[in-house]
Amino acid sequence: MSLRIPYETVLETVKQALMNSGLTEEKAQICAEIHTQSNADGVESHGLNRVPRFVDYIQKGFINPKGEPELVGGKGAVENYDGHLGIGITNALFCADRAMALAKEHGIGCVALKNSTHWMRGGTYAWKMAEAGFMGISWINTESCMPLWGSDEPGVGNNPFCIAIPRENGPIVLDMAMSQYAYGKLGVYRLAGKKLPFPGGFDKDGNLTDDPGAIEESRRILPTGYWKGSGMAIALDLAAALMANGNSGLDMDEAGNGSCTGCCQIFIAYDPYLFGSKEEIQGMLNRRVAAADASHPAKEGGAITCPGERTSATRERSKKEGVQVDETIWQQVVAISKGDLNTEDIASK
């Protein structure tokens, strides 16, 4: 069952839960803003739904709340950092900011981060770069949670990839895992008692299914585009590990320290006006998006939009009517905010 809770109530409740788990007030505020904003934008799977697990990982020592990014090396427009298993959100925000600073100087900036932790909603950092006027590209490698095409066991991460286009009339932002549905999204549908809109994986007997619980049980999520998503996933894994000189998905598998613990992340910012005027570039973007949105819908009454265009409307509704949260998840977060830190039981529900 879903509830709508006032934005500020959600923010303050998450902040208190994170402070109870050992974060400083400053870091708790930053993380609470990202978690709340994710829910407000309609991305429950990587907003509040991740808070109990995040707190659980801190208690288990998978995340170091005091860890900070440390410069390992740099050359021109590229820098490499060690995240020291710090908070994924604050590590990623730092790296996105550094990529943009490098782009201001060089036209393009690339930051490769190793030894970090789950960045929660990947699109957060692409949105940040686009809203600052840069084209943003970012991705992450994860532990194996998806079968390679033709396999029946997890052998590669679903390795989310994000790209954001800085359109002044509204950024176009693609935030996607290399699986048809990320595990977080499966959880959203399961908690709501709903089937998936399209088949998203296989059950334990190898049958393609739209039952999110059956897919979670079998751990056989479906690669996006079948073999293409599978191939893209392994390529992104290798590229991130190579660029950051850090862990591959296999290294994370062998460590066994929880989702994305010790991962690599890449952040690229690009000045969109290096070779064209602002008027020229923005005009091109607006014409292209307008043509795409004008595509004839397959179903009567349907509407076609580019990635990210509906986000602003969802955000505005959340601020007016309250942030949509799952009742069970909300009760868990409230419990943590009140000092119930038995998150090992909470996170497993």
**Residues with a known catalytic role:** 46
Burial of residue 4, with CB atoms counted within 10 A of its CB: 0-12 exposed, 13-18 middle, 19 or more buried = middle
Q: Is 161 helix (H, G, I), strand (E, B) or coil?
A: strand
Which residue reads 């999110």 in tokens? 212
- Here the tokens at position 132 are 């600052």
Dihedral, 31, 32, 34, 40 alpha carbons, nearest 10: 170
Question: Residue 150: left if φ>0, alpha if ψ -120 to 50, beta else—which one?
Answer: left
Its sign, for the CA torsion 252, 256, 262, 268, is: positive
What does the DSSP 8-state code read for residue 50?
A: G
- Here the tokens at position 73 are 């090396």
- Say if strands 70-75 and 78-82 run parallel, antiparallel, or are unpaired: antiparallel
Report the C-alpha gap between 111 and 102 in whole angstroms.
Answer: 9
What does the DSSP 8-state code read for residue 87?
A: -
Burial of residue 251, with CB atoms counted within 10 A of its CB: 0-12 exposed, 13-18 middle, 19 or more buried = middle
